[in-house]
Amino acid sequence: GAVVSQHPSRVICKSGTSVKIECRSLDFQATTMFWYRQFPKKSLMLMATSNEGSKATYEQGVEKDKFLINHASLTLSTLTVTSAHPEDSSFYICSANTGTRAYEQYFGPGTRLTVT
């Protein structure tokens, strides 16, 4: 149980276009989902916390107009990278909570975004 999927797993887009990444909890309802960004050989940096039905809470330094997060249901959160630039190229990972504690997070397989 507690499976989280991400789609797509890999995407290449041109500069200036927008890309949407989906995060789904497949066998549980997630009141909270998290979006992380990971640079090569680096750690995960939390970008935002997403609660179903409310606005996402962004970490300091993360542009909310650039990284749009929508948590429309208890099983789906989306991250849209708007007007993507090459510096947005990264590995994006989502996680979903089965409860209210941090250790109840389950991680998706990640999405590799390359902006050309």
Partner 1 sequence: SQQGEEDPQALSIQEGENATMNCSYKTSINNLQWYRQNSGRGLVHLILIRSNEREKHSGRLRVTLDTSKKSSSLLITASRAADTASYFCATEGQETSGSRLTFGEGTQLTVNP
Q: Which spans of this chain sit near partner 1 (rule: CB under 8 A)?
A: 4, 6, 32, 34, 41-46, 49, 59, 91, 93, 95, 97, 99-110, 112
Phi and psi at residue 103, to the nearest 5°: -75, -5
Q: Which amino acid is at 11?
A: V
Nearer to partner 1, 82 or 107 (CB): 107
Residue 28 CB, shortest distance to partner 1, in Å, is 14
Residue 106 CB, shortest distance to partner 1, in Å, is 8
CA dist 2 and 55 (Å) reads 24
Nearer to partner 1, 20 or 112 (CB): 112
Nearer to partner 1, 62 or 82 (CB): 62
Q: Residue 59 gets which letter from DSSP?
A: P
Q: Residue 109 gets which letter from DSSP?
A: -
Which of 58, 47, 55 minimizes the C-alpha distance to 94?
A: 47
Residue 39 CB, shortest distance to partner 1, in Å, is 11
